[in-house]
Each structure stands twice: as structure tokens, then as C-alpha cells.
A and B are shown apart, each in its own frame.
Chain A
Amino acid sequence: AQSVSQHNHHVILSEAASLELGCNYSYGGTVNLFWYVQYPGQHLQLLLKYFSGDPLVKGIKGFEAEFIKSKFSFNLRKPSVQWSDTAEYFCAVNAIHNQGGKLIFGQGTELSVKP
């Protein structure tokens, strides 16, 4: 069965620090990859997604992620975090050929940014 692993459960950073959140998945076929974010008290919302093409994907609020197929990874990055980035971040995978639209999520990473 497919699975998604996020390496960090809780990350604490100071404002202006750089961020990298790890995500690895297990599936040998073609995948679509997503990062979702859940701000305190808000819905899950899409941060960015990769379907095909350029493996470096840019999303909202200055976030980007790089798909490295050989490493089955889709790490999320931001060069300089802000206090407003405090949230929980979820990596998700959709295995195209046999899963329909269902998403398999990682366990989530809670990011706390200190002002």
C-alpha cells in the first residue's frame, strides 16, 4: 500500500529562518504530489501541487517544493519564514492509475514560528 512519511512532527523556527520540511512517499508508479496547510482554526487549503513538468513547483506565500523522483521525495521549502506561517503542513500523494482521486496524507508537521 502507498504511504507518505513526513520526517518532522514539530519544527520551531525564528522569523526569517529558512524552512525545509521533508516528505517521502512509497509508490512505484506515476503520482501527483501536494502540500496542504492548515492554519490555526482554518480549513485545509492547497499550498502547491506537482503533476508533471518542471520538478520545482512554486506555490502561494513564497513556498516551493522540489520533486526528486529518484528519491521519492517532495520536500517543501521557504527561504524566510514569517510568524504567519505558523500552521500544520501535510504532504499528500495521489497514485494516478489505481487510486482515483483519493489522497494519501503524511502525518503532518506542525510549524511554530517565533516572532
Chain B
Amino acid sequence: GAGVSQSPSNKVTEKGKDVELRCDPISGHTALYWYRQSLGQGLEFLIYFQGNSAPDKSGLPSDRFSAERTGGSVSTLTIQRTQQEDSAVYLCASSLMGGSDTQYFGPGTRLTVL
């Protein structure tokens, strides 16, 4: 079946602009995660949605970052007033029930802030 999809695959933006990154999880998966992969920091957790529960936002690096998940499916990660240090690959993952379930990763969105 279809895996996790993310769009766009690449995004180049200018410092100070806002960007939106989209994630379509595997159909039927109730949990959705965002991670960031960058050279200096490795793979970092950003945010976690599980069903209708309040999201775990503990990994968001600043208040410029926000995410929402509409209808328990598609998620959008928004970065406002982008900075050069935001340049990274943003990965989305989903799992069937959350918790310890295996997470399936998408291909990522490579964000470059000039």
C-alpha cells in the first residue's frame, strides 16, 4: 500500500519568509510524528500527534514552529520567519496506534533557507 508522503520534496526560501510542509500519513494510522534531520544536530523529534489527544510539542525549537493535523490525517508543519539554521530535512512518520508501534517514515522535505 501507499507509504507516508511528503510535499514538497525540496523547498528553497529566503530568510524571513514563512513555509508550510505537508505530510500525508499511511491511511488508518492514528499517530503522526515530525522529526528534523540536520548536519549538526542529527535526527531530532519535533512534535507528535496521537488521535484526538493534545499533541506533544516538546521538541519544537521555538515559537516560530507550529504544526496541525486536520481530521486526524494530513499534517502541516509551519515555520514562520525562517532562519538559516532552519535548513534541514524535515521528516514525517506515522504509526498505527502510537506508543511503541513501528514508525514508518516519509521521504522528507529538504528545506534550504538562503
Interface residues of A (CB under 8 A from B): 32, 36, 43-46, 49, 51, 90, 92, 94, 96, 100-108
Contacts and interface: CB of A to CB of B under 8 A. Distances in A.
Contact of A101 (B42, B101, B104, B105): B101
A98 B44 CA distance: 17
A100 B91 contact: no
Contacts of B50: 100-101
Interface of B: 3-4, 31, 33, 35, 42-45, 48, 50, 56, 58-59, 91, 93, 95, 98-108
B59 A46 contact: no
A104 B59 CA distance: 11
Contacts of A96: 99-100
8 closest A-B pairs by CB: A105-B43, A44-B105, A102-B45, A107-B42, A101-B98, A32-B100, A43-B105, A101-B99
B100 A102 contact: no
A100 B102 contact: no
A49 B98 contact: no
19 contacts: A32-B100, A43-B3, A43-B4, A44-B105, A45-B105, A49-B102, A92-B43, A96-B99, A100-B98, A101-B31, A101-B48, A101-B50, A101-B103, A102-B33, A102-B56, A103-B35, A105-B35, A105-B42, A108-B42
